[in-house]
Amino acid sequence: MAGVGSCLPSRVVSNDELATRLDTSDAWIRSRTGIEQRHFAAPGTATSDLAVGAGAKALKSSGEPTVDAVIVATTTPDRPCPATAPVVAARLGMTGTAAYDVSAVCTGFVYGLATAAGLILAEVADRVLVIGAETFSTLLDPDDRSTSVIFGDGAGAVVLRSGTGTEPGALGPFDLGSDGEGEALITVPAGGSRQRLSGVAPRPGEAYFAMSGKDVFRHAVRRMTGSAKAVLDRAGWNAGDVDHLVSHQANLRITHHVAEGIGLPRERCFNNIAEVGNTAAASIPLALDQAHTRGVLRPAQRVLLTAFGGGLTWGSTVLTWPQLDRS
């Protein structure tokens, strides 16, 4: 890993603001999720706008003006077709560069890292920009208090380059998994080929994101704990070797359960969910950039990443933090 950056839309939405239109309260949201506020993109701001902001900062941080491939992990592409990555690459001055999207909902960034690492190992690319970017607010049912309070918008990005397995920044191994039998637990029912929108109005609420919160909570804890343990095993690390757990920011209580399951003290979890909510595929790279900028992540420290999302999907990897500027 050779560079990191992030981008948040300027509008901050507090719990109190949501409580003015939904039957909820700041106290409920804080105590059940750990979230205090989130950022929402203004109408007219698309996922690619945030992705370009984060990608430009990651490129600058890496000292590389261009890369050989651009991967965008997102649940909220600018359009159903084409993918968002090519326009992001073009706007970053990389017309002609390989660019594609990865769709694994909140696990998308870890899947994106794995495919980027694969491109490098296969010598298809020497440097890859991996961006997680979301305007998740565009999927939320404004009347659904169980989802509206959780998600936020944002983007984070990293640059990967080829290197040795022993230098700071070395990434991997990976653990990835899925269980499509849990498809209905996290879903936007309408708009794809299963429930088509062409010429037919979606059934009420079915164009919005829906989630079975309690079931998702249990699956998230189980899968992230299992995946994190598997990747630690593959890396030959013990829980005690991990300086920081940067997990998908789904719910503070989920992160604490995962840390406990792995055998890590809570103090080793980096959390920014209070400030940004759950930003889906953007969550881990946004957290990495904030932890780096705040001086929490220091060179050569050992970092464990784990994520869980719709699909169901999950994935984990490890890295040693590189020496990067903090400008």
| Binding site residues, ligand COA, CB under 6 A | 24, 28-29, 32-33, 106, 145-146, 149, 211, 213-214, 216-217, 220, 250-251, 254, 278, 308-309
**Backbone conformation region of residue 34, classed left if phi is above 0, alpha if psi is from -120 to 50, else beta:** left
**Closest separation between CB of residue 233 and ligand COA, Å?**
24
Task: Tell me the closest approach of the beta carbon of residue 134 to ligand COA, in angstroms.
Answer: 12
248 annotated active-site: yes
Q: How far is the CB of 105 from ligand COA (least distance, A)?
A: 7
The answer to whether the beta carbons of residues 219 and 312 sit under 8 Å apart is: yes
Query: What is the number of the residue whose Cβ is closest to ligand COA?
Result: 213
State the Cα–Cα distance between residues 102 and 130, nearest whole angstrom.
10
**Spatial separation of the C-alpha atoms in residues 167 and 279, rounded to whole Å:** 30
The question of whether 219 is a catalytic residue gets the answer: no
Residues 248, 251, 269, 292: which is the catalytic one? Answer: 248
Task: Supply the minimum distance, in Å, between the C-beta of residue 246 and ligand COA.
Answer: 15
Q: Exposed (0-12), middle (13-18) or buried (19+): which is 265, by Cβ within 10 Å? A: exposed
Distances (CA, A) of 183 to 72, 207, 230, 310: 22, 16, 23, 7
111 vs 321, beta carbon nearer ligand COA: 111
List CB contacts of 94: < 8 A, sequence separation 6 or more.
Answer: 66, 67, 70
For residues 24 and 293, which CB has a smaller minimum distance to ligand COA in the complex? 24
What one-character DSSP code corresponds to residue 143?
T
In three-state form (DSSP H/G/I as H, E/B as E, the rest C), the secondary structure along 166-222 is: CCCCCEEEEEEEECHHHHHHEECCCCCCCCCCCCCCCCCCCCCCEECHHHHHHHHHH
Nearer to ligand COA (CB atom), residue 61 or residue 279: 279
Which CB atom, from 217 or from 237, has the smaller least distance to ligand COA? 217
- With respect to ligand COA, which residue has the nearer C-beta, 309 or 322? 309
Among the listed residues 106, 244, 269, 292, the single catalytic one is 106
Q: Find the shortest distance in angstroms from Cβ 124 to ligand COA.
A: 30
Say how far apart CA 37 and CA 250 lie, in whole Å: 14
Positions marked active-site: 106, 248, 278
